[in-house]
Chains A and B, each alone.
Chain A
Amino acid sequence: MRGRPNPAALRAAATAATGIGLALILGVTAGTVNRVRDEAAGDVGRMAAALWELPGGGEAAVTAFLAERATIEAVRTDGARTGAGAHAYRTGELEPAAWIAVAPGGQGRTWPHLPATLALSGLLLMTAWAVARRRSPPSPRFPTIPALIASLLLAATAVAATGRTHRLLADLTTERATHGARAAEVALAHGADHGQARRAAGLPPAITPAPAATPAPSGTPTPSATPTPSTLTTPSQPVTPSDLLDALPGYEDTRSPAIPLTAAAAASSLATALLLFLLPLSTRPRTLRRTLTAWSFLTPAAVLLLLFTFGPLLFSLWISLHEWHLVDRVHPFTGLDNYLTLTLDGQWWSAILNTAVFTLHVPFAMAVALGLALLTRGSRRAVRWARLALFLPGITSVVAIAVVWKWLLDDGYGLVNRALEGVGIRSVPWLTSPDTALVTLMAISVWMVVGYQMVVFQAGLAAIPRDWYDAARVDGAGPLQRFRHITLPGLRHTLFFVLVTSVIGSFQVFGLVYVMTEGGPLGATDVAVYHIYREAWEFLRFGNAAAMSWVLFAVVFAATWLHFRFLERRWAHA
């Protein structure tokens, strides 16, 4: 049996690749934690060094500061006594990071236990599965199940590892604050002034009024630099842990491990899938070569889609589960809170409602487009000339069109109202009244899409055999009956296609609203995408915005599904 994928090798490869992926994730996690731990140790070391250098400081202060930590000798190979480390630091023998020995609990290195346990047990299961013999013949198709198991395991481990990293780093931040307060306390006790105490705690000595810790939402989505440290207003107050927490960026802030972790997970699942693909083929050189060739053709598109579509889809889901403010560096996980908030958000639902109402322009547009298609039927020259005029609104700059219409519909000086006044009709507040604004936008949208729809209908009409009409005419059917019994059934699929694509498109209307009404007046034209845009880029609440976009997706999906469920079936049997 040449060329059949070897099931044992396949499972072994899946297991191995998953193992590599897991090791990668755990490695990245551990690396992040340990790097920050070094940094934390360095910070404590700097505090000790500052105490050492105090006029009243020296070994006594350092010893007082480090009293609880007995293992300071551990760093020294020559078994010197407490304080030697500080001395060594001062004389340049030891890097600040070497104060690692004073790190809480004396743990030098850490290992992410929970994710590691998860990963190891998963790996064990996979190994068991790889070793176990299965009687059914191996399927030559894509090994979906192993790939799925591997990906799930990888994803779960990545999530667990990320969560654990976040917690560990938060702990380190808290501990540093405690140490800082203690360092300041020791410094004061050794006769330092307040400024010196602050420096010992790792705070800048200057007493300047600082801006608020959370920057006000600004119109420009500039990610601000490191938060500016707030300072104490009264010099006599002692340094408290909360001062340090407020004033210094948390260790979490240094770099979120989420991105490298996700990347590592994605890369390793990709590698797994690839391995699972290629391994069974390696027994057939030509098949292998062919597969590799095909993938080299597919790679540019696949990589770009992975990076900018599939990746972002997952990332967006991730964001929607967090309180994600653009300028903040901490994005606390909040589970489904964003979604729960949305359900009670009246403005959001009114935006959805507006979008749904806006979508009602589609049937009108289709009716007009079908009429135009029937009008131009049979005459090639008419079609060609009509096309430019009819098509232009659909393909040119939306913004330019929106501006023209805004001018045409201007309350006082717009051509439309002037014409109405000319024939003695009261002018209409097209865009400035909540009652009319949305309808006006719908009308403009009809104007924009009919040209495109007309061309699709023309194509659909051309595909209906002429013989059917001749036969109907011979049978004595009038024009209306021919339309009802031949044209409409013949256009069934075209109508359905136009309806579905137009509805999906109209759920995403943005440019018109942005230029013409900015969602107003009184939120009457606040449609979903515009609402999301404002939520994200004006209020910078990306978590909420991401949740909204998933709700919108659900709505679009439901609408499409309903179309397929009810319309296509009925039309198919019409």
Chain B
Amino acid sequence: MTRAAEDVVLRGVEKRFGDVTAVAAVDLEVRAGELLVLVGPSGCGKSTLLRLVAGLEEPTAGEVWIGGRAVNDEAPGDRDVAMVFQSYALYPHMTVARNLGFGLRVRGTGRDEVAERVGRAADVLGLGDLLDRRPGQLSGGQQQRVALGRAMVRDPGVFLFDEPLSNLDAGLRLRTRDEIAALHRRLGTTMIFVTHDQVEALSLGQRVAVMDRGRIQQVGTPREIYRRPANLFVAGFVGSPPINMLPLACTRHGRLAGGPFVFPGTSPHPAATLAVRPEDLTITVGSPPTPAHPHGTSAHTSPTPAHPPAYTGIPPDPSVIPPGFTPGAAPDPSSPPPPFTATVRRVESLGSEQRVHLDGPAGAAWVARTSPAHPATPGDTVQVTVAWGRAHLFGPDGVRIGTPPTPTVTGGHD
């Protein structure tokens, strides 16, 4: 009964509204049967992109292919897609049953078959008792199910979701998210899901496409997106609390430096940005046991970290020295990386974890995500160690260069 899933391909799709470019030359391939999440800040063009796939908007340029057909000139109803809207868009003057069956009736499906398919969808979604009600008499969650059911009944090749969870309260949102994931496993249909919530995106998507200013910034598995952000925007957008950043500049010797860090080797870039996830910082409470060694040699007895990094399961990025850097006097990779000194400003205790807000290197506001087992208090001076193997270096154009080499730490905190 279930139709084969269809793939969706966008080629150079562009959409302008007057002078405003909502979607700029997007190439995207959604594989058949895949659940792809489009995520980005509001106004980034993700909803427009979805509407272009649905046919509700016409591309200014480029082509949309669904299931191997170019559908630019096809009406939305002919594209074999179903869509769930943010406001659910249930027809207020029709009962739930008529809402569910509308798409079939429009296509001239026989009365009996409509009833049968509506009944089946209602069973799956537990809407059996509500069939004679009107949308106005339903709760938000029930309306959401009806909207989902209306899409299911059509048995389309592609499901489109336009922020369908944003009108639900937090608990319901989590549950519905699980249901949609379950539905995807059950039906095996291609699904494109739009959301502005990066947590939702990472938890739901098999692959995630991050959009900003009408362009797709990165497409990849949630893990790729999180661990290897393609550029500064993706790094900053994904993850909560947001990634810690530090601008770096070239020294006279051609080395990248910023705050207490001086990176070995000669940099091909005049400037760069260092980014470290909060869970990749390790904090040791107490003043520096020994003054920092100018070249980070092993003289100092680094205390064992108070706790392991939060994401210990993720292996460090293999590339240690990004291409283009000429290796200089690299620090001994076998020795533990040198810490730097920072002051605790504020501590958020969230129960399972604590977020320590720091006056980071060069005064940048950094956050560390640590275990609550070793509480820090505001005003403490702490030693911070960076898991350099999982840090990122972004070039002046914001594109990821790679993982930085372990730097030397000068002077620590003033």
Contacts and interface: CB of A to CB of B under 8 A. Distances in A.
A285 B73 CA distance: 7
B279 interface: no
A286 B60 CA distance: 12
Contacts of A285: 73
Contacts of A2: 61
A285 B71 CA distance: 13
Interface in A271-301: 285-287
B52 to A, nearest CB: 13
Interface of A: 2, 285-287
| Majority DSSP secondary structure for residues of A touching B | helix
Nearest to A285: B73
B59 to A, nearest CB: 10
Contacts of B73: 285-286
A287 B58 CA distance: 9
Interface string B103-123: 000000000000000000000
Interface in B47-73: 58, 61, 73
5 contacts: A2-B61, A285-B73, A286-B58, A286-B73, A287-B58
Contacts of A287: 58
A393 to B, nearest CB: 37
Contacts of B61: 2
A2 B61 CA distance: 8
**Residue among A285, A286, A287 with the most chain B CB within 10 A?**
A286
The 5 tightest CB contacts between A and B, nearest first, are A285-B73, A286-B58, A286-B73, A2-B61, A287-B58
Interface of B: 58, 61, 73
Contacts of A286: 58, 73
A285 B74 CA distance: 10
Nearest to A287: B58
Nearest to B72: A286
A119 B61 CA distance: 43
Contacts of B58: 286-287
Nearest to B74: A286
B69 to A, nearest CB: 16
A2 to B, nearest CB: 8
A238 B73 CA distance: 82
A2 B14 CA distance: 13
A286 B71 CA distance: 12
B321 to A, nearest CB: 48
A138 B5 CA distance: 44
A287 B59 CA distance: 12
A287 B75 CA distance: 12
B254 to A, nearest CB: 48
A287 B61 CA distance: 14
A285 B72 CA distance: 10
A167 B155 CA distance: 74
A285 B58 CA distance: 11
A341 to B, nearest CB: 54
Nearest to A289: B75
B53 to A, nearest CB: 15
A285 B70 CA distance: 15
Nearest to A1: B61
A286 B73 CA distance: 6
A367 to B, nearest CB: 43
B284 to A, nearest CB: 58
A286 B76 CA distance: 12
Nearest to B55: A286
Nearest to A3: B60
A287 B60 CA distance: 12
A390 B73 CA distance: 58
A44 to B, nearest CB: 66
A286 B61 CA distance: 14
A123 B68 CA distance: 50
A356 B267 CA distance: 88
B70 to A, nearest CB: 13
Nearest to A290: B58
A91 B58 CA distance: 76
A231 to B, nearest CB: 75
A286 B58 CA distance: 9
B109 to A, nearest CB: 24
A11 B73 CA distance: 27
B90 to A, nearest CB: 25
A98 to B, nearest CB: 61
A287 B73 CA distance: 10
A163 to B, nearest CB: 48
B276 to A, nearest CB: 47
A282 to B, nearest CB: 13
A493 to B, nearest CB: 31
A67 B61 CA distance: 80
A98 B248 CA distance: 105
A2 B16 CA distance: 14
A285 B61 CA distance: 15
B336 to A, nearest CB: 61
A3 B399 CA distance: 36
A491 to B, nearest CB: 34
A286 B79 CA distance: 14
